[in-house]
Structure 1
Amino acid sequence: MPTTATAAQSTSRRRKNTSSRRDDEAPIIPILARKVREVEAKAQRGKLGPTNRVKFQVIAFLVREERARVKADTEVTDAARAELLKRLDGVATILAKTAARDTSLIQLLEVDQATSPVARRMRRDWLLESGAELPPDELIITDTAPAATSVVPAAVLSRQVVPPQVEARREANPFLAPDLSRVTTGPTPRRRLDGWELMGPLYKAFETGAGGAVASMDLPPVPEFDRLSPKGLEIMPHQSRFLEAVRQGHRSFLLADEPGLGKTAESVLAASVADAYPLLAVVPNVVKMNWAREVQRWTPQRRATVIHGDGENIDAFADVFIVNYEILDRHLSWLASLGLKGMVVDEAHFIKNLSSQRSQNVLALGARIREQVRDPLLLALTGTPLINDVEDFDAIWRFLGWTNGEKPGPELMEKLDATGLTPADKAFYPQARNAVISMGIVRRKKKDVAADLPDKLIADLPVELDDEFGRSIREAERELGGRLAAKYRRILEARGDRVFRGDFDEDIVRLVAHTELEESKAAGTGAENVFTMVRRIGQAKAVLAADYTVQLQRSVGKVVFFAKHIDVMDAAEAHFAAAGLRTVSIRGDQTTPARQDAIDAFNNDPGVGVAVCSLTAAGVGLNMQAASNVVLAELSWTAAEQTQAIDRVHRIGQGEPVTAWRIIAAHTIDTKIAELIDSKQGLAARALDGEAADPTSTDSVQLSALMHLLRRSLGGD
């Protein structure tokens, strides 16, 4: 009588033999079972990208195909047929559950055949893996010629606008110069990998790491001289290496540097190096003004224009056109006919959802530029190219022309073909990853280029308050300036002095401003004054600052968000919650244990992304060095308060350079306050260094800001 162990081994052998016989009768079924589990796992994590959707479609098609074959096979016994159909039903059940999770998949269950070349290649490869013999016409799969599509989709055709100045530009030069270098002769040669489905393997190469090397292309060494920076500025070595690659002829990049490493400046200078004008920059609304400022700063010989609304006030003869995602749809028609030679997509992870209209707008414009210009400058900027899944690369690769979503583009295909390998070879994956990286992926972290960076950088981010709130703030500033000017004139008239525009008595300017400041302090928040005005500016900036913080957090991890007023903190926290970010709050009304719990959670819990802090309550005594990025949503009245806030992360033990992002409302007193704060910091440095200080710089920021408003109203400043 056999032992228990022997009996178990015998049972195991019988099960294996039975399974082997069943797989011999339908060898495609275990492949389908494995593939459907892969799709199910992706769907459960919310990562069902384009490739897995095609995989879902092919599984559904092969299940139907195999069910029909099994039913018609007369050589299969009834018991075996029932078992095979049961296993196919199991695969179909998982498909149905997955479709119930993502209802957009239901239509793929109803497709009668795998129609796209990618789907046909996938079906062919799985059948070959199962050992099936296919007829020659199923082995060779050719791509269908792409249908010509309009840049402007029918859904937004009625919304197209043509700014008046664009018409003037067209009349000045009604013809675009033809790009004869795009003319090609002869058929495209067939390559060894033309018959393979390659998108899945390319994503897999990045998903598995394929060797673990940093995903950044080799860049040229730093050139001996900096010939690109305008007078008074200097590019950093890591920026110089990127620009040298552009100078040597590279034209498409996924620039995935961390925030704070100067991607905007690099892009502006890259356009100059490549002479890629007119250049279009598609950017988030919160950074439009910053882009215009960087163009002026780094390429002062070039003109930039920011597109607002319907673009009534744009400079159509500018070199750089800056537009935000939300209004791009109404400007597609004229931008597509402008003769653009370059395009930058800032925060390019915004286009990862291929079904969204904004993604389709960006991709359509990118495709039109590639049609019109040989080797245009195409830059996708994002510190977070991957958010949910490796297939988030898809839209960015399409924009850059590296792939078309179904297969690699000609240049990438040539690099893959040169490996001499196929996806059936393990060595293919690291080499495929390197091939994609060499197309133009550049990824540097702060710690990688720390020697290039100052240990603490304050970066100003001007934002446009172009809504009704912003207009009311600017009107309130004019009224306050007018009130101060009226007081100034009354004093001069009482002395019998004549008033000249742009010529004023500084002593009286200071007297009027000082009187106003004392009255404002006494009035509190009950009347319109410099304090209530600055508070309203903070309220207007709250969501813009929070939105930028969300983008920043997704790029660099933990961020400390500082605001001065409770209502600004409340608005920011609501925005973070809507974006799915976990936050902690540090406010003045907390108990000491509650505050410490919040600090500990921020420093130690990887799930906490943002600390929302009061400038006054959290500006001293706290250690928050788990972050190296600070957002200052509101400006302080003192340089010391700003410094104390930044020093919550810039302290002993901080391993990375610190960047403080000041959100500044353009065309308001906010800009002057930032300038005054900087001057106070300069004063402290001069005093500590033993240098003489300007006596006027001893005025408070509030007093200096009011004096500025008065001078501006009188026609000075």
Structure 2
Amino acid sequence: MPADRSPRPGVSAGGTDWRSALAGLAHVRADAAAPGSGGSTRPLGLQFELRRRVERRNGEWRGARDETARRAASVDRLAVRPVAQGARGTWVKDGLTWQNIAYQASAAGVDPSQSRWFAQFAMLKGTTPAVYQYGSEWITLDEFESPLLWGLLAEAGRLGIALVGSDVTPDVVLRGSATVGLDASLAGRSPLVPGGLTLEPTVTIDDEEHPVEHVRPIAWHGVYRSDFDAGVIELAPVANGELTPAQRALITAPPEPIHVPAAEVSTFLRGHFHTLARSLPVVSLDGSFEAPDVPPATLVLEAAFEPGDVLRLAWRWEHAGGRTSPVEASEASTTAAADDPELDDDLLARVADELGWVPLDAIILRGLDAAEFTAERMPRLERLAERGGLRIDVTGERPDYREVTAAPEVRVTTVESRQRDWFDLGVWLTVEGKPVPFMPLFRALAKGQRRLLLVDKSYLSLKLPVFDELRDLIEEAGTLAEWETGLRIHRTQTSLWADFEDLADVSVPARAWRATIAGLEGGAVEEVPPPAGLALPLRAYQLAGFRWLAFLWRHGLGGILADDMGLGKTAQTLSLIAHAVEESESRDASGSAGRFSTRGGGAPFLVVAPTSVASNWVSEAARFTPGLRVATVTATEAKRRGRIADAAANADIVVTTYSVLRLEADAFAAIEWGGLVLDEAQFVKNAATKVHQAARDIRAPFRLVVTGTPVENNLSELWALFHIVAPGLFPSRRAFDERYRRPIENDGNIERLARLRRRVRPLMLRRTKELVAPELPPKQEQVLQVELHPRHRRLYDTMLQRERQKLLGLIDDLDRNRFIVYRSLTLLRMLALDATLIDEERYAGIASAKLDALFEQLDDVLGEGNRALVFSQFTSFLGRAASRLDAAGVPYAYLDGSTPARRRDAVIRQFREGEASVFLISLKAGGFGLNLTEADYVFLLDPWWNPSSEAQAIDRTHRIGQAKQVMVYRLVASGTIEEKVMELKARKGELVASLLDDEGMTDASLTADDLRGLLAD
């Protein structure tokens, strides 16, 4: 058995008996560690000596010499030096200097703590040249700069360092405090001025009065006094910590006693005493004089009126005797003014109540601020000044400012502008029958001012409800730079004009504007017939969409066709293009120029689509509008034989891709187009990109965005789209963010959401599948919960805790740590699918429950002769599924972002023609441009927090043309981040619904709170 290692009773773990340990401590000498105890060491002292400077006689070549002063009149300075106690008890120099005391004292056996004290003393002496005037043997205390001197001298006593004098003044005494001032007495001291007042310089050291003749200053923090008769030198710090210049002058050059005749005492007390008392303490040692109370200072406001509506205000205190002082910022506190008996803190508080702020040193008020202060606050201050303590000194000519209280009248008109798509908007404002210039009013409203100063020095309150509404409307109608040359309103802002019309007392809208309003908001879209060249019939809702597009085209208005995926947006758009071509040909035949026609036959439409969708436009055009001439530009001019302009010259439709548009932006912008169509417009939802700018630069009278998801993540995407198709609707990005995006997304502002719906509704058409449900087969969606295998579950939980600890501190600064946060979230999402996705070799033995669940479903689906689409965002996981299909001998098609564009059609054809029963598609590559109605099952292997992405994937098969019921399965790993993603996705879908479907709304951005929710327990 191992030996027992526990300590014996009474013995510590280290093996030492506690009695022995205590006995050892008890025998330590009590004075062994005491500083300055000396023991057998040799004592040191600090010698004080009054010194004088003696000039050499004529003929002596050396300069002045330094020696001991023997009488008071010859004292130049007080000097100190280190000394040691000799064998006979006397204090001798013994070779010690300020330079060698450290090592000399050590060699002589002096207490180290004492030698360190002398070193500190020498370091704190200061750098004044006078310190070295008489050599290094002595240090002059007269210029000892550090106030730590007094602490050092007190410390000397504790360390056993003696303070010793010389043979002339052997005693050195350290006193508590000293005061330098004047002693006042009435009719007692001067027989020359009977009944008068005498002021005599005096020094009080520890309550004992002394004349100033033998007192000298120690720098600015103390004094010393020499008494040769008593043989003593006294030192003391000054009572208030610092000698004033007047106190220092009093002891360096003491004046004769000051005598004030009796007849002039009252004049002295009234006009001079308080100024004197501020620089020197005045006491009465005999009690014959009593200092008068300090009269309160007068608070003075200097108000200087200058041309151009400028008012300069300066505040000061005016004290007795004519002295002035500024009003300090610190007097805003209740204690600062109360500590000074001359300052009336109650008066300052009353002035602050009248002004709304504490008066400080100087303020310059201009324009409206000057008018408000003069008309409203100065009368209050003048009433306050009548009570005393306050005086207002006015210079310059004071204008007659006044506030106008009559209600203003607003009149609004619109006149068609020479610039296409704009109207000149006239706004007239009259108050009391007088016109108010609009630009000053606009600037005041744009800057958020509360009032407007008019030319007749009256001013108008802008807090009235009419100005609140006008401010909101002009912020939306345009920026200040646009309005400097005249106020304009774009023809797309139909509902904005209605708001102006409601606001104005009188309105005169232009005739063309009336037609636009009646058409878009009055339901007067013409029932034009479908174009003759349309080969296939349009469904009822598609026909309504075509007519809406035709109306926008005829009036030169852009718009967004936002129908759900699979409802035939391409067919509606092709119908419009065919209509436009037929209209242009008809006008050419009749000899009348079309409004937007630039040449015979009309200018072609430019269709921009993703690379994967461009070929679909060609095939759909051949199917729906075979009479239209279609040209494709899918390569840059450097890689193709002909120029883009040549392709446009012989076509009704030119189809290109977003990448080619970006690379050949100048070539496309140089052509006059009949219209611009942007398909799958998520490519231009970022206004900062080059492709967005390229789309904006296209010269076309009609612009159309075709997308089933105009808003996916936040409202800035909606602004970016309308900035292309209707640039006058929301001219300013900043104004849109302030007016709509932030209030809606951050604050849930229902009123702003309703107003935004009204703004965009005339220019955006959206029909959901629910509206055309009878024409679509049923769709059934189901969530399949997948339980991870035990080893997989343990690994996931361990990894989750590690990532949670790492991320929760980073999410608070999401902008800086966004990459790290998303990397960890992606890691957890991959781990929820298959452990081998993060380390194939290490976790090869952990099976994927998600793949097992997928193939259980596929066995039944394929066994019944059905076909399936399988989506995932992770191509590595699709590769794992492909390996399982290969092993099972199941034919499949595969498509992801790396699939070359030239092979994409072949892969799609492989599935559509039945060569493959399963189509593995990455969510990004297959989110648009695919019509796969051959499939009737959809499997989403991993959820994504953007519901639009999933909806687009499902709509690859659930769309017009599908005859069978569509089954949608979402596979979600239980107890993982995938469940949190499902919750977040549901919240993200509410914004689109609130904006487009008139329901509630929520925050659509991916916030820090959203990310915390993904990591929550």
TM-score range (shorter-chain normalised) is 0.3 to 0.5
Larger Cα-atom Rg: 2
TM-score, normalised by the number of residues in structure 2: 0.27
